[in-house]
Amino acid sequence: MSDIKLALFNIRKNLKNEKELKVSFIMSVVGMTINNMAFLIIWYYFGKTIGVINGWKPLDILGLFAFSGLSYGIVETLFNGIFYIPRYISSGVFDKFLTTPKNILLKVSTSQIKTSALGDFTYGLICFIAFYLYKRLTIMQLLISFLLIIITSIIYYSFSLICMSISFYLMDGENVSEGLHNMFLSNSLYHGGAFTGVLRFIFIFIIPSLLLGAIPVEIIINMSMIKLVLICLLTIFWFVLSVMFFYKSMKKYESNNLFGFGN
């Protein structure tokens, strides 16, 4: 409980600091929301031009961006610290997380927030409302959707943590970590009907990009309980693996800080 209280305190403190510059805070959120609309427009007209792609209709893209936007917004707003792991390692700032008995992963995760991610969350929420109205979702579909939002957030957090933890093994791992993470994220924003065969297998089981948006949309539309069970099992697998990998990788850490503890 003390670890959770510390995490909540860090989140409140970071949000309070960001809101001090109100104009910058608002512009960051609104700007990111508007920026993301470009993806929706591009993929909508792509679907409208090509037609139905492997069962995906043009407006089904609303669901894709709803789940991916909400999961991205939740994780990068509340737990943005994991994306600073490569920087913490290279600068020696990671030292300060090792000096207290509190949960290290929780401290690292809540050490930073990303204001613009609130714009991604807002964008995802708008897309979700539009998807709900478009598909006229039932109460059961709505409840499963809320569960899937939690699931996609855990998957995004887990695989991102694995990507960033790779930096413990490399002298300059920031580029490698960010490159792998960008590949994971960018493929989650592609049209869900575009992945078939081997590519679909890879982006479900090896790099779980499709679990962020495409698979949740297919679960909701088709009410596929098999896919729901599958995504739940994969979520548990990726979360456990990410936590174990982080703590195992952390043992490789050697401080680069020449002046004591990091700033």
pLDDT in tens, 210-253: 999 999 999 999 988 999 999 999 999 999 999 999 999 998 88
Mean pLDDT, the chain, whole residue set: 85
pLDDT of residue 258: 47
| Alpha-carbon separation of residue 33 from 30, 45, 111 (angstroms) | 5, 19, 24
Which amino acid does the sequence have at 217?
Answer: V
Radius of gyration, alpha carbons of the chain:
19
Q: How far apart are CA 130 and CA 149, in angstroms?
A: 16
Is the Cα dihedral 234, 240, 244, 245 positive or negative?
Answer: positive
Residue 85's pLDDT band (boundaries 50, 70, 90)? Answer: very high
Residue 259 has pLDDT above 50, yes or no: no
Residues 66-86 have a mean pLDDT of 92
Residues 80-106 have a mean pLDDT of 85
CB 71 within 8 A of CB 153: yes
Residue 262's pLDDT band (boundaries 50, 70, 90)? Answer: very low
Residue 178 has pLDDT above 80, yes or no: yes
* Alpha helix segments (H runs only) across 51-116: 61-78, 85-91, 104-109
Residue 179 has pLDDT above 50, yes or no: yes
Beta strands in the chain (DSSP E): none
pLDDT of residue 256: 58
Residue 123 has pLDDT above 80, yes or no: yes
Residue 164 has pLDDT above 50, yes or no: yes
Residue 36's pLDDT band (boundaries 50, 70, 90)? Answer: confident
Residue, of 167 and 23, whose pLDDT is higher: 167
pLDDT of residue 53: 82
pLDDT of residue 194: 81
Contacts 24+ apart (CB under 8 A), 35-39: 35/119, 36/65, 36/69, 36/119, 36/120, 36/123, 37/123, 39/65, 39/189
Domain range annotation of the chain:
2-250
Residue, of 143 and 53, whose pLDDT is higher: 143
pLDDT of residue 30: 73
pLDDT of residue 44: 77
Residues 147-174 have a mean pLDDT of 92
Which amino acid does the sequence have at 36?
Answer: N
Beta-ladder partners of 53: 56
